[in-house]
A and B are shown apart, each in its own frame.
Chain A
Amino acid sequence: AQKITQTQPGMFVQEKEAVTLDCTYDTSDPSYGLFWYKQPSSGEMIFLIYQGSYDQQNATEGRYSLNFQKARKSANLVISASQLGDSAMYFCAMREVNRDDKIIFGKGTRLHILP
């Protein structure tokens, strides 16, 4: 069965430091996509970054990058130079098109940026 694991329920990080949020996944499908979303306290879901299983390079989007280690089934989100506005819940998600477009999420990590 598909599974997404985020082992860090909460993290506290000093402003301007880099932070890594962990995500491991389990799938038998060779073709899949991995997503990270941010959910601020206001509740909306904001798409951050995507990594495909066949992508040769790690994805980057501004201050966000994805440390993709396929053999370890790991897709960690790295936020460089953290800001107070980065305080939020962060969710990792996986999509397998061969499963009729099913997309499942991990339990999330609540990130607190300290001034």
Chain B
Amino acid sequence: NAGVTQTPKFQVLKTGQSMTLQCAQDMNHNSMYWYRQDPGMGLRLIYYSASEGTTDKGEVPNGYNVSRLNKREFSLRLESAAPSQTSVYFCASSPLANLRNEQFFGPGTRLTVL
């Protein structure tokens, strides 16, 4: 099992460019999440999806869109990248909604916006 995979691992964009961060999990998990991690700010939730076909805004959704393409895949799109979106992005997944189920994280995508 690959677990949670993210592509790309690194990306440099110019201000105004767009891109999509890909995330896939092979554990048949229902819930998927996108976080960004910035120094001193911890992990902040951007969007999440409790099941295929549903998505919800997290703490910092502005400037992002998501698609839950199917149960396996949850993509994050930056339509017009800004320097403030320079961050490390983590995707995570978790089994069917149960308080005890921990999240499984991908390795992260390091994004720099110039």
Contacts and interface: CB of A to CB of B under 8 A. Distances in A.
B48 A50 contact: no
Contact of A33 (B31, B54, B56, B99): B99
Interface stretch (A63-71, A73-81, A104-112): A104-112
A95 B40 CA distance: 21
A105 B105 contact: no
B114 interface: no
B111 to A, nearest CB: 14
A62 interface: no
B61 interface: no
Interface in B70-111: 88, 90, 92, 94, 97-100, 102-103, 105, 107-108
Interface residues of A, number: 26
A45 B93 CA distance: 12
A107 B102 contact: no
B107 A100 contact: no
From A35, A53, A101, A103, name the one whose CB has the most chain B CB atoms within 10 angstroms: A101
A104 B99 contact: no
B100 A52 contact: yes
B44 A105 contact: yes
Contacts of A103: 33, 45, 48, 92, 94, 103
A103 B32 CA distance: 10
A94 B48 CA distance: 14
A9 B105 CA distance: 23
A18 to B, nearest CB: 24
Contact of B102 (A9, A31, A47, A106): A47
A115 B9 CA distance: 34
B83 to A, nearest CB: 21
Contact of B42 (A50, A53, A108): A108
Contacts of B45: 102-105
10 contacts: A31-B99, A33-B100, A43-B108, A47-B103, A91-B43, A97-B98, A101-B30, A101-B48, A106-B42, A107-B41
Given A47-B103, A105-B44, A108-B43, 20 more contacts: A6-B42, A9-B40, A32-B99, A33-B99, A33-B100, A35-B103, A43-B107, A43-B108, A45-B103, A50-B102, A52-B99, A97-B98, A101-B94, A102-B48, A103-B33, A103-B48, A105-B35, A105-B45, A107-B41, A107-B42
